[in-house]
Amino acid sequence: VTNGSKVMRNAGFGWEGVEREAYKPEGSNFSAVTRQVLLGEGEGEGDLNAITRYYEIAPGGYSSLERHQHPHTVVVLRGAGRVILEDTVSEIRPYDCVYVAPNCLHQFLALESEPLGFLCIVDRERDTGNPAGDEDVARLRANPEVAGVFRR
């Protein structure tokens, strides 16, 4: 449409005109994660303050264990997995919605048997993530609910 509106068709959790990128350009505290920016960073999308990304974690993979000031809105689209929010673990499945509050330590993990795909909505203006520190890790290790789940 001449005013910039558009429909981006999905096929197999890929979208027309959207590149499947590495989760982060570097780092070793995550595994088997890809990122697709659906809307917000493309040409003509500067009127969006919200950036909508689709992350997919392959079976057995996980995102960084980290915290940051900006909140996340997450809606699961595919597969199954778990989310760590501070000192809790929750199983998540399609259409479950997760709010990651400011500065909440968090990590998303796919099951060993299934991928985990989810939308993650953030503001255009936001801080970068800070990986979990040694104190965080010591605290999680001392918590039986989380100790066997988190990955660093």
Q: How far from the centroid of its chain's Cα atoms is residue 56's Cα?
A: 8
Q: Does 1 bind its own copies (CB under 8 A)?
A: yes
Q: How far apart are CA 79 and CA 117, in angstroms?
A: 6
Binding window for its own copies (CB under 8 A); candidates: 23-31, 58-66, 83-91, 139-147: 83-91
* Contacting residue, 119, 130, 131, 139, with its own copies by CB under 8 A: 119
Residue 144 CB burial class (10 angstroms; 0-12, 13-18, ≥19): exposed
Q: Does 21 bind its own copies (CB under 8 A)?
A: no
- Tokens at 146, concatenated: 């989380």
**What letter does residue 111 receive in the DSSP assignment?**
-
* Contacting residue, 32, 39, 58, 80, with its own copies by CB under 8 A: 39
Residues 6+ apart with CB under 8 A from 17: 8, 42
Binding window for its own copies (CB under 8 A); candidates: 55-63, 94-102, 127-135, 144-152: 94-102
Q: Does 149 bind its own copies (CB under 8 A)?
A: no
Please say if 104 is a catalytic residue: no
The catalytic residue among 74, 100, 110, 120 is 120
How far CA 137 is from CA of 4, 25, 86, 93, in Å, comes to 46, 24, 11, 26
* Contacting residue, 6, 19, 127, 147, with its own copies by CB under 8 A: 6
> Helix (H, G, I), strand (E, B), or coil: what is residue 50?
strand
**Number of residues lying near its own copies (CB under 8 A):** 50
Binding footprint of its own copies on the chain (CB under 8 A): 1-10, 13, 15, 38-40, 44-45, 47-50, 52, 71, 73, 75, 77, 83, 85-88, 90, 92-104, 106, 119, 121-123
Catalytic residues, which ones?
120
